[in-house]
Structure 1
Amino acid sequence: MQPVHFISGLPRSGSTLLAALLRQNPRFHAHMSSPLAGMVDAMLGEMSDRNELAAFITDEQRQRVLHALFASYYGAEFAAGVIFDTSRKWCSRLSVLSEVFPDFKIIACVRHVSWIVDSLERAVQRNALRPSFMFNFQTGSTVYNRAEGVAFGEGIVGYSYNALKDAFYGRHAHHLMLLQYETLVRDPAMAMAAVYDFIGESPFPHDFDNVHFDAGEFDERTGMPGLHAVGRKVVAPERTTVLPPDIFRRFENDAFWLNARANIHGVTVV
């Protein structure tokens, strides 16, 4: 099977834009989140000791089954030389991935958490007539309810934030690179050069003024049209927050990756 790398990290932090740029390289396949992380979890569960027949499954067989799962999913129709699979779950699965793909790399997209919550709230307000999947399609909540909902441990932000810390401070951190959204949109050429260097691939002349990505059908089904929309040109957005000041301040010191003294494994932060 061709080399497999992973895109993960925090939501609303540039993973879709990164995939859209990587797709410009004809050697690469990249897209928005795939179902593979959930499929891996399901297979691990079925091969665990909750299955009384697991006594007949060795770790070598588990490894082969998971590798075959990727090989089957990315079959002959994916002719790319390098695969990038995307899921926020991958940051919490580095131990598993290291058993299946010893040489894998994982690019975790990060962003100041206040602006992530702001971006999610903007998406909710933009689709006021379409209740969101992020809140189980419930109606009548306030911005405070929604901020709490995304930030708690199993929320879309809280889970991915904890998974990112798990990877950053864990023993497999050498597989990890953090790509800041702010860098990607302000200096995309430098950001992409760092990605290529990290994965050991030859540079490619990306077109930052002509980016294409379409996930409109998926976004429509989730009740949030435009959620994964990518602008034609890579630019840094200039805007004020839609969040109340107290909510914005709540998250403004959560960018732990900016603390060089806390980077105990020397993870590359771009």
Structure 2
Amino acid sequence: MLVPTVHFMSGLPRSGSTLLAALLRQNPTIIKAGHISPVTPMMLKLSSVMVEGEYQTEFDRDTRHRLLRGILFNYYGGDSSLNANNLSVIIDNSRLWCTRLGLINAIFPEAKIICCVRDPVWIIDSFERVMQQNPLLSSKIVPIEHRGNLHSRVDSLLSANGAFGFCWRAFTEAFYSDFAHNLIVVDYDVLVHEPARTLSILGDVLNLPAWKYDFENVHFEEPVKFDESLNSPGLHKVRPRVEVPRRRPVLPPDIVSKLAGNRFWCDQRKKVGRAVVIA
């Protein structure tokens, strides 16, 4: 029975993962690629049952792997549904995957992890623009006690558990880990400036069949309820065509100076023998 190929998407927020997923879904080989899924937390909860407490002796290695793989396949419709469509690739999206490369390597050893990244200045700028566009809704991207002014919002985003800070630490950990060779790092600036080259390299690394992607007609069904739950409508909105954003940052100079120059993945000396970097 045909089993779909599985890959993963992770990396930094506001870095083009939704756009990239929308483009990849034009390729009929890819059955699922989209916004953040609950697969990772479901796996972690089940893992805690299997390795801790009174039931841990009931699960051997093969059983653990079978159950964890089953979570992903059943979330996306079950084997019969997937195979009936004769399509072959699932790309599951979660910011947590960068912290679970060992788990991926154990249960999906052939999988790659696409990490979308971007200059931190423009990530924080993008978050701030989302929050400024919906002032009456008081976005839940940052805790309510930190929403009072721009500097406090930025401090919250950069904190260890903040929307940016957590992902930055997770990606940095992954980039320098023993599993870094499974990463495909996609820089946002390259994606929007050279989408054809980006998709070509990505297709080669993932062994996808060649496809002519349409960069002038990009469609993505927004997760409206997810965005509304964060009081941030339009958080995952994708423009109908791939284009380079033209705008000045809304961040003051002190914050820009603090964040600038942190695109460490572009350093050629740090790529040798490690991740595939499209930058």
Q: Please list the CA deviations of residues 146-167 of structure 1 after superposition, one character each: whole Å capped at 9, or x if unmatched.
A: 1111111111111111111111
TM alignment of 1:61-210, pairs within 5 A: 61-74=63-76, 75=78, 76-78=80-82, 79=85, 80-137=87-144, 140-210=147-217
Residue in 1 that maps onto 2:234: 226
Query: How far apart are residue 60 of structure 1 and its match?
Result: 2.2
Asked if 1:44 is matched to 2:52, the reply is no
Give the whole-Å Cα distance in 2 for the aligned partners of 1:174 and 1:91.
Answer: 13
| Farther-moved stretch of structure 1 (213-222 vs 88-97) | 213-222
Asked if 1:260 is matched to 2:262, the reply is no
Query: How far apart are residue 58 of structure 1 and its match?
Result: 1.8
Q: Please list the CA deviations of residues 200-254 of structure 1 after superposition, one character each: whole Å capped at 9, or x if unmatched.
A: 1122101000000121333223211111000001001011000111111111122
Is the alpha carbon distance of 1:193 and 1:141 closer, same or farther for their aligned partners in structure 2, counting shifts above 3 Å?
Answer: same
Give the whole-Å Cα distance in 2 for the aligned partners of 1:59 and 1:248.
Answer: 48
Match of 1:180, as an amino acid? D
Give yes or no for contact 2:21–2:33 (8 Å, CA) kept in 1: yes
Give yes or no for contact 1:94–1:172 (8 Å, CA) kept in 2: yes
Over aligned residues, Cα RMSD in angstroms? 1.4
Question: Paired residue for 1:30, among 29, 33, 45?
Answer: 33
Q: Which runs of 5+ in 2 are unaligned?
A: none
Give yes or no for contact 1:113–1:252 (8 Å, CA) kept in 2: yes
Q: Moved runs in structure 1, 4+ residues, more than 4 A?
A: 137-140
Give the whole-Å Cα distance in 1 for the aligned partners of 2:138 and 2:48.
Answer: 32
Q: Percent identity?
A: 39
Q: Tell me the matched-pair count.
A: 269
Query: How far apart are residue 92 of structure 1 and its match?
Result: 1.1
Give yes or no for contact 1:169–1:264 (8 Å, CA) kept in 2: no
Give yes or no for contact 2:147–2:153 (8 Å, CA) kept in 1: no
Asked if 1:247 is matched to 2:255, the reply is yes
TM-score between the two structures when normalised by the length of structure 1: 0.95
